[in-house]
């Protein structure tokens, strides 16, 4: 659309006419802008999941399995390490989990803190500082059903032991586990009684989800062994199928064995000599 305006030349001498004409000429160049927001694509922050009702009929073990299964792999491994060691330093955690900076541990523990109340369980550890000022995590959860079952079986085996085995467990077990969590003593006692335990059986009996958690169970024992100068009563070995295992050392004799013999060798009683008549 075009607009024609005729202005006499003498009228341009008027300041008012010149200003009005200038505003009219510049008017088409004034464009108003407006920001349009598509409300259909508006994003909102995701709400936190609602906690699971405590009266949903599930047992504590079922809640724990649900909680554990919802965690990322590293968070699961972190829980296994804290549970096995009882107390885990941040330097140990970073080494075991391949974490480069301490700040990254916050993401691992953060997912645990987020999902625990959602799944109806308590965070199974507490954060603190050790005597050197290093960040540590201490396991606080009560024994789970797997650990209780393992203890129950150990007590039954001890009660059903043969009558010729009247001695208690070796003193080395008490010396190596003095002041430690019951889990370490249970492991040594079970190994002493069974003579050899595979890594899969250890994980099953003590409720450990990853093989790396077994190292956390052994490290405190091996560290104590070096501190008090007492040789370890067990040695690492492999089963006939190639599985990693631990065997009670033969020089750590099980009490009550009255006479040792080599496998495959039959022991014969010596007949009393007859006196010559």
111 and 183 belong to one structural domain: no
* Structure tokens, 26: 């510049």
> Has residue 25 been placed in a domain?
no
**CA–CA separation, 101 and 117 (whole Å):** 27
pLDDT of 230 reads 83
pLDDT of 215 reads 80
> Has residue 219 been placed in a domain?
yes
How many separate domains does the chain show? 2
149 and 244 belong to one structural domain: yes
pLDDT digits (tens, 9 = 90+) for 133-146: 888 898 887 555 54
> Has residue 174 been placed in a domain?
yes
With 0-12 CB in 10 A as exposed, 13-18 as middle and 19+ as buried, what is 78?
buried
**CA–CA separation, 228 and 235 (whole Å):** 18
**Domain span holding position 218:** 145-159+168-248
93 and 74 belong to one structural domain: yes
> Has residue 35 been placed in a domain?
no
> Has residue 275 been placed in a domain?
no
174 and 225 belong to one structural domain: yes
150 and 222 belong to one structural domain: yes
> Has residue 37 been placed in a domain?
no
C-alpha closest to that of 11 among 20, 3, 1, 24: 20
Residues 6 or more apart whose CB falls under 8 angstroms from that of 234 comprise 188, 191, 246, 247, 248, 249, 252
128 and 221 belong to one structural domain: no
To the nearest whole percent, how much of the chain has pLDDT over 70? 66
97 and 125 belong to one structural domain: yes
Confidence check: pLDDT of 227 > 70? yes
Residues 6 or more apart whose CB falls under 8 angstroms from that of 90 comprise 102, 105, 134, 135, 136
* Structure tokens, 260: 């040792």
Of residues 162 and 223, more confidently modeled: 223
Other beta carbons within 10 Å of 184: 22
Whole-prediction pTM: 0.42
> Has residue 228 been placed in a domain?
yes
118 and 195 belong to one structural domain: no
Query: What is the CATH number for 151?
Result: 1.10.10
Q: Quickly list DSSP for 230-270.
A: ---SEEEEE-TTS-EEEEE-TTSPPTT--S---TT----PP
**CA–CA separation, 154 and 167 (whole Å):** 16
pLDDT of 24 reads 75
233 and 153 belong to one structural domain: yes
Round the average pLDDT of the chain to a whole number and report it: 73
173 and 101 belong to one structural domain: no
pLDDT mean over 31-45? 52
Confidence check: pLDDT of 183 > 70? yes
150 and 134 belong to one structural domain: no
> Has residue 71 been placed in a domain?
yes
C-alpha closest to that of 120 among 65, 40, 41: 65
pLDDT of 78 reads 92
67 and 113 belong to one structural domain: yes
């Amino acid at each position: 659309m075009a607009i024609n305006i005729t202005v006499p030349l003498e009228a341009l001498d008027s300041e008012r006419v010149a200003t009005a004409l200038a505003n009219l000429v510049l008017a088409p160049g004034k464009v108003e802008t407006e920001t349009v927001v598509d409300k259909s694509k508006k994003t909102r922050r995701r709400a936190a999941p609602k906690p699971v009702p405590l009266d949903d009929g599930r047992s504590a073990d079922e809640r724990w399995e649900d909680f554990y299964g919802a965690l990322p792999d590293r968070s699961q491994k972190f829980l296994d390490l804290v549970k096995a060691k009882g107390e885990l330093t941040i330097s140990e955690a970073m080494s075991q989990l391949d974490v480069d900076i301490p700040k990254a541990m916050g993401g691992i523990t953060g997912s645990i803190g987020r999902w625990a109340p959602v799944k109806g369980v308590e965070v199974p550890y507490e954060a603190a500082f050790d005597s050197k000022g290093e960040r540590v995590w201490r396991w606080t959860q009560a024994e789970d059903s797997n650990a209780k079952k393992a203890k129950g079986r150990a007590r039954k085996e001890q009660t059903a032991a043969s009558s010729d085995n009247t001695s208690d467990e070796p003193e080395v077990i008490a010396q190596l586990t003095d002041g430690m969590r019951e889990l370490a003593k249970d492991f040594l006692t079970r190994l002493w009684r069974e003579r050899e335990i595979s890594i899969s059986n250890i994980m099953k009996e003590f409720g450990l989800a990853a093989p790396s958690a077994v190292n956390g169970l052994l490290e405190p024992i091996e560290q104590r062994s070096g501190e008090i100068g007492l040789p370890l009563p067990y040695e690492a070995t492999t089963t006939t199928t190639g599985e990693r295992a631990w065997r009670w050392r033969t020089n750590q004799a099980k009490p009550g064995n009255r006479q040792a013999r080599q496998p495959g060798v039959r022991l014969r009683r010596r007949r009393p000599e007859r006196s010559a008549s």
